[in-house]
Amino acid sequence: MRSTYYLFLTLADGYWRSTDLVHWQFVKPDRWPFDGPVAPATLVAGGKLFLMQAAMKPRPLLYSTDPAHGHWRFWTRLLPPVPGAVSAGHESAMKPGDLPPGPWDPALFQDRDGKTYLYWGSSNVFPLYAAGIDLKLGEAAQGEGKRLVFTSKPQVLLRPDPANHGWERFGRDHGDTRIDPYVEGAWMNRHGGRYYLQYAAPGTEYNVYATGVYVGAGPLGPFRYAPYNPVGYKPGGFVTGAGHGSTFQDAWGNYWNTGTAWIGLNWKFERRIDLFPAGFHADGQMWIDTRFGDFPQRMPNHPLREGESTFTGWMLLSYRKPAQASSSLPDHPPAAATDENPRTFWVAARNAPGQTLTLDLGGERSVRAVQVNYADFQSGRYGDAPDIVTQFRLEGSTDGRHWTTLADLSHEMRDRANAYVELDRPARIRFVRYVHVHVGARTLAIADLRVFGHADGPPPPAPTLVSARRLPDARDAEIVWTPVPGAVGYNVRWGLSPDRLHETWQRFADQPTRLTLSSLNKGVSYVVAVEAFDERGVSRLSRTVTLSP
């Protein structure tokens, strides 16, 4: 399993395998929880890959020594009950000190001394818990005779504190104070002798779903809240949401953090998986880089240097550009495919070969990549099937009459809901056309046809930061800057020091150049700046301003 990556997610009927974090192959397992795992936890230990799913009632613990071919066995058919937990369905009889049924949203961690720990919790009432466990790896028994036992009593790790942590407040843009925030999705990493307990808050179904971290000296703590929280945060842009994931190292030792991006269209918990560079500074500060995280990135084939970015520098060329289609439904026009919003989309009148969607970039551009983001609109499909594949051609033109093929995926046999295509060489074109071949759904719906590359000319000038001030509620700040002519958008960036502006809130140019930043921690001093971006590149940073506690 070394240098091989496996991706597990909620309610899937299988999982994905990759050797480079770019190309993924679906694996259909021969043994699987009947309804698909929920919030699955994995652990590599003793040469085995273990799989645990969130449980409100007893569920099996699975393991595999050959996950590449989908071969799984039961380690134990029923997980032992959490010590002190009540049975599912008896929550109304809970007494003080009782634990909720579980483990829900579990995470598994094995320390270097071989001791193993279970973390769990997903609630806006209960905290996150942890306990020591023993997988009995040394037992002679085979298969289902092996056991998992608790070696310590569960202990409370953390509770939400929205009164002091602005980013833990519930709702879109942290604006719903009627509901207490959730803490969930625990994950543990050890780095440099420190233990990083990560968790998700404040709620899955919003753009501000984020990752926080507590730092401790041991796997069970005690833990200290990191003042730079949230460590993983992406409330703006095409992809929004960065909470409830995992942090891992690739074959080169580079750290990455997965999260869940919010869609919330067919179901309020509808999400996708995102992946961001991550790491640790020499003083122990953890960071996750979501800046331009939904623009083209390069997957490194070497250990990244301090401060080295994976961003290609290819800019968004398709935002709000005129679009035409061969057909469309009345409430889903072609313009919806260029608004950088995955919850609006173009829908063809018929899902049939030959349907087209054409963008006018407004002049010749150097096009480097195109991303076709399909929308799950009345698809009538759930789960994997052989015919759920995406097939299309991409064409380019300088005049809208004479076309050349940019990429031909007519015979593609994969399901690529967010098909990203890098061109073999830059194409100097004005028009980009999607030509439909097949999608395994009732409807042909495209949320955004995103085009990346460069327009001619220098990057935009830096915006002028007019003001940045803490509001009477110290969890909030107001950031105001001047518009930059021709800008596509802006990144409001902040952090603990001018060289650590790790947090980013992306805004598009048709939004006000004023942001109420509601994700600050009381008692923490911040530095904030703004940058502009357009089709030519990214500006220098504005002046920096300190936001005193």
Does 333 or 307 have the greater pLDDT score?
333
- Return mean pLDDT, the chain: 93
Same fold, 1-159 and 465-547: no
Q: Which fold has domain 465-547?
A: Immunoglobulin-like (2.60.40)
517-547 residue pLDDT tens: 999 999 999 999 999 999 999 999 999 999 9
- Are 347 and 335 a contacting pair, CB within 8 Å? no
- Are 146 and 136 a contacting pair, CB within 8 Å? yes
Q: What is the pLDDT of residue 139?
A: 57
Superfamily of domain 1-159: Glycosyl hydrolase domain; family 43 (2.115.10.20)
> Quick check: 2 pLDDT over 70?
no
Q: What is the pLDDT of residue 34?
A: 67
Q: What is the pLDDT of residue 82?
A: 86
- Are 381 and 395 a contacting pair, CB within 8 Å? no
> pTM for the full model?
0.95
Q: What is the pLDDT of residue 514?
A: 97
472-508 residue pLDDT tens: 999 999 999 999 999 999 999 999 999 999 999 999 9
Q: Which CATH class is domain 318-454?
A: mainly beta
Q: Which CATH class is domain 161-310?
A: mainly beta
Q: Residue 140 — very low, low, confident or very high, per pLDDT cuts 50/70/90?
A: very low
Please report, for the chain, the start and end positions of each structural domain, with discontinuous segments joined by +. 1-159, 161-310, 318-454, 465-547
> Quick check: 141 pLDDT over 60?
no
Q: What is the pLDDT of residue 114?
A: 94
> Shortest CA distance to 257 belongs to which of 241, 249, 246?
246
177-207 residue pLDDT tens: 899 999 999 999 999 999 999 999 999 999 9
| Rounded Cα gap, residues 341 and 392, in angstroms | 22
Average pLDDT over residues 129-140: 81
Report how far apart, in Å, the C-alpha atoms of 392 and of each of 109, 157, 168, 488 are. 43, 50, 42, 28
- Please report, rounded to a whole number, the percentage of residues in the chain having pLDDT higher than 90: 83
Q: Residue 171 — very low, low, confident or very high, per pLDDT cuts 50/70/90?
A: very high
Average pLDDT over residues 235-247: 96
Q: Residue 44 — very low, low, confident or very high, per pLDDT cuts 50/70/90?
A: very high
Sheet holding 15-18, edge to edge: 5-7, 15-18, 25-27
